[in-house]
Amino acid sequence: MATVSIKNAIKTYPGNVQALHGISIDIKDGELIVIVGPSGCGKSTMLRMVAGLETVTSGDIHINEEWVNKKEPADRDIAMVFQNYALYPHMSVYQNMAYGLKNRKIPKDQIEQRVRETAKILELENLLVRKPKELSGGQRQRVAMGRAIVREPKVFLFDEPLSNLDAKLRVQMRLEIKRLQERLGVTTIYVTHDQVEAMTLGHRLLLMNEGRVEQIGTPLEVYEKPQTLFVAGFIGSPSMNIIPAVLSSNGDLALLGDSLSLPLTHSENSANSDSQVTLGMRPEHLEACESEKASMFLQVEMLEKLGADTVVYGKLEQTELVLTVRLSGIHPVVSGDRLPLTIPSEHLHIFEIDSGKRLN
């Protein structure tokens, strides 16, 4: 059992590549933290620093209150599962799982007990004699996890462990990892660039962009109150609609010429009146309504009828701004329609133009 504390971690690679600009987070015992962000934002660097595979340029890493910056990876009591799970091809599943324990001179009967227990949890009992090449991708992934679990580490580190699997298997393994982490209660840091994986797995998410923290919060906090424009665009599918707007002089309307007029919840709104802002509206929060009640009209161009939802694409009337709308069920709208839309004011997201910081 362990806590992990990262304080102002900075990483500069040789050649003056600034990968991390000061990352801080306190991870609770038993928590599953997902680090999520686009390619190259520094996720693996962060994880490898916790593992001890990468030096820390400055800042502090503590595992269970112990300062580990200078500690060897082998002495940190952590287990890491990578994207290419790198099983030993000439060894059986059993041998692959037992290998790390043998190296640590653990008695044979204890090794056997741990491997068999872990194999049972992961439903690998019938595969213990097979070689990796005789396994499916998902089974190999489970062996890689088994190898980490048998070591009974204080912390699990996962670096995109599912990205080599097909979509269906990925969903299945995602559930398995969640169940396993809950059952074992081991503090876990999980890296992914997949926002759906992040939302479904994490107790909390750390959203990273270009080596900086954009937001730390539960999946719901991040979805409902994205603190930056980057987070707003990154979390949610289809992505949030982002358009320019101006706040009315008394600050209770967001306007875009004659195309848009939306009431705001005044009390929460810390923006100056008459100021230019960026407005965010999630596709699933836009509602089709009667023309008289519309805050805007969509010139419908394209439709995706998915059964459970209808995704509508079009332009905000009198503008070139493209909007996506997700209506529930099978909606009778057709291409060429003028679709009246409204959105409840609690679902409006307002951001400062320059900084991209949330204003409401």
Closest CB 285 distance from ligand ATP, rounded Å: 29
Nearer to Mg ion among residue 19 and residue 155 (C-beta): 19
Of 34 and 229, the one with the shorter C-beta distance to Mg ion is 34
- Regarding 195 and contact with ligand ATP (CB under 6 A), the answer is no
Q: Can you tell me which of 2, 6, 36, 44 binds ligand ATP, judged by CB under 6 A?
A: 44
Instruction: Report if residue 295 touches Mg ion, rule: CB under 5 A.
Output: no
Out of 39, 103, 126, 250, name the contact with ligand ATP by CB under 6 A.
39
Please choose, out of 11-19, 72-80, 236-244, 245-253, the segment that lies near ligand ATP by the rule CB under 6 A: 11-19
Tell me which of Mg ion, ligand ATP, none is bound by residue 42, counting a contact when its beta carbon lies within the kind-specific cut-off of 5 to 8 angstroms.
Answer: ligand ATP
How far is the C-alpha of 156 from the C-alpha of 2, rounded, in Å? Answer: 10
Which stretch in 35-43, 99-107, 168-176, 277-285 sits in contact with ligand ATP by CB under 6 A? 35-43
User: Which listed range, 33-41, 145-153, 175-183, 310-318, lies at the site for ligand ATP (CB under 6 A)?
Assistant: 33-41
Task: Please return the burial class of 203, using the count of CB atoms within 10 Å of its CB with bins 0-12, 13-18 and 19+.
Answer: middle
Q: Which is nearer to ligand ATP, 45 or 310 (CB)?
A: 45
Q: Which of 40, 244, 329, 344 binds ligand ATP (CB under 6 A)?
A: 40
Cα 77 to Cα 72, 180, 337, distances in angstroms: 10, 19, 61
Q: Residue 245: which of ligand ATP, Mg ion, none does it interact with, CB under 5 to 8 A by kind?
A: none
Which stretches does DSSP call E strand in the chain?
A: 4-13, 17-27, 32-36, 58-63, 66-67, 78-81, 155-159, 187-192, 204-209, 212-217, 241-247, 253-256, 260-263, 276-281, 287-288, 296-305, 309-316, 322-328, 338-342, 349-352
C-alpha span between 85 and 337 (Å, rounded): 51
Q: Do 316 and 256 contact (CB within 8 A), yes or no?
A: yes
Answer for which of 32, 34, 35, 44 binds Mg ion (CB under 5 A) is 44
Q: Binding ligand ATP by CB under 6 A: which of 2, 23, 32, 41?
A: 41
Helical residues (DSSP H) of 135-282, grouped into ranges: 137-149, 167-184, 195-201, 219-224, 229-234
Q: Judged by CB, which is closer to ligand ATP: 13, or 67?
A: 13
Question: Which backbone phi and psi does 65 adopt, to 5 degrees?
Answer: 70, -5
DSSP for residue 319: S
| Order of strands across the sheet that contains 260-263 | 260-263, 253-256, 241-247, 276-281, 349-352
Instruction: Please report how close the Cβ of residue 13 comes to ligand ATP at its closest, in angstroms.
Output: 3
For Mg ion, the nearest residue by Cβ is: 44
**Gap between the Cα atoms of 12 and 88, Å rounded:** 33
Question: Which CA distances in Å does 139 have to 123, 130, 152, 260?
Answer: 9, 11, 20, 53
Please tell me whether the peptide bond between 283 and the residue prior to it is cis, using omega within 30 degrees of 0: no
Taking the CB of residue 223, how many other CB atoms lie within 10 A of it? 18
Q: Which does 291 bind (CB under 5 to 8 A by kind): ligand ATP, Mg ion, none?
A: none
* Site for ligand ATP contains 163 (CB under 6 A): no
41 binds, among Mg ion, ligand ATP, none (CB under 5 to 8 A by kind): ligand ATP
Q: What is the C-alpha separation between 170 and 309, in angstroms, rounded?
A: 23
Least distance CB 41 / ligand ATP (angstroms)? 4
The count of residues interacting with ligand ATP (CB under 6 A) is 11
User: Residue 280 in 3-state DSSP?
Assistant: strand
Binding interface with ligand ATP (CB under 6 A): 13, 17, 19, 39-45, 193
Binding interface with Mg ion (CB under 5 A): 44
